[in-house]
A and B are shown apart, each in its own frame.
Chain A
Amino acid sequence: MWVVIAAYNEASVIGRVINEVKRRGYPVVVVDDGSSDRTADASAAAHVLVRHPINLGQGAALQTGIDFALERGADVIVTFDADGQHRAADIEKLVQAIRVADVDFALGSRFLGCSDGVPVARRVLLKAATLFTQLTTGLRISDTHNGLRAMTRRGAGVVRLRQNRMAHASEMLSQIAASGLGYIEVPVTIEYSAYSMAKGQTIGDALTILLDLFARRLYR
């Protein structure tokens, strides 16, 4: 199993995040997405560091991490955010859910779990994203933009993220829906901080995501 952490300019928090995950006994691969700060140095505690030569986007970094984990023979791959919003304790819940429910994807949901301090605007945006996903993919998901997810090797094989930036979350859900593979939502905790809120998505980002998803349909 591998935990994939995509990081861009997270030098101030990535070390703590890596150590929290490692303390639980999980091997960590950090994908440094062309950071301009000392994220790479701060990721020294990771088992493996993969560095993009240029900044490509979170989607691209996650796919690189997934490719690395598959190369290393991972049977389960977990994606985990670098900004400290996720709790390492939730990883075990996702992995157990995959095994118990015998599915290929376990998707974290803050709305089934705990998400104190979500601003109203962010909550509205996330609910709109959920509705959009339900309409376009048919998936009954309560949290469509949660970076904490686990997938089996077979599940990772059907994921092929071509959306480099924030639209990758919607793209992954489309691919899960199209694959017909089983999935389950798992309650997880999202811990908001001023730091993570500053890095979160805005309404402008939501419009960019829609544009990216639309543009992808226009070419092969």
Chain B
Amino acid sequence: MIAQTAISMLLTSVAVYAATERRRSPVVALLSIIAAAAGLYFTWTPDHATQVAMWAGVGRGVDLVLYIWVCISLIVLLNLHLKLRRQMDLVTVMARTIALAEARHRLSEKADRRRFPEAVRDR
């Protein structure tokens, strides 16, 4: 009972987290929610887990739950990877902004040097 409650709380957290990510990564969110829901169901109905496991050729119900947990972990890993890619998108925008601003500044300085050579010399 204690273990089931603890696992249920963790799986519910996964489902809630997945729901918050659904706008950014809809596919990952959906897969996570399905996996979490399946995990929750089999945690409280271990007999069904055993029947499904035998049908799927897995062996024991507890093995099935373990495999579902592995799937959840891989999906969460995928989500982290996608977050990193999004971070890289932001870094790109920032780096581009800096690069273009510097180029504009250099061009403006060059134009000033051509227009006001004395002013630049005296500076």
Contacts and interface: CB of A to CB of B under 8 A. Distances in A.
Interface of A: 31, 48-54, 56, 60, 63-64, 67-68, 71, 162, 164, 215, 218-220
B100 interface: yes
A49 to B, nearest CB: 7
Interface string B82-123: 100110110110011011101100110000000000000000
A167 to B, nearest CB: 12
A3 to B, nearest CB: 15
B24 A48 contact: no
A218 B86 CA distance: 11
B96 A63 contact: yes
30 contacts: A31-B99, A48-B103, A48-B107, A49-B106, A50-B99, A50-B103, A51-B102, A51-B103, A52-B95, A53-B95, A53-B99, A54-B95, A56-B91, A56-B92, A60-B92, A60-B96, A64-B96, A67-B96, A164-B92, A215-B81, A215-B85, A218-B25, A218-B27, A218-B28, A218-B82, A219-B28, A219-B82, A219-B86, A220-B23, A220-B25
A18 B96 CA distance: 22
Nearest to A51: B99
A51 B99 CA distance: 5
Secondary structure at the B interface, as helix, strand, loop or mixed, is helix
Interface of B: 23-25, 27-28, 78, 81-82, 85-86, 88-89, 91-92, 95-96, 98-100, 102-103, 106-107
A67 B104 CA distance: 12
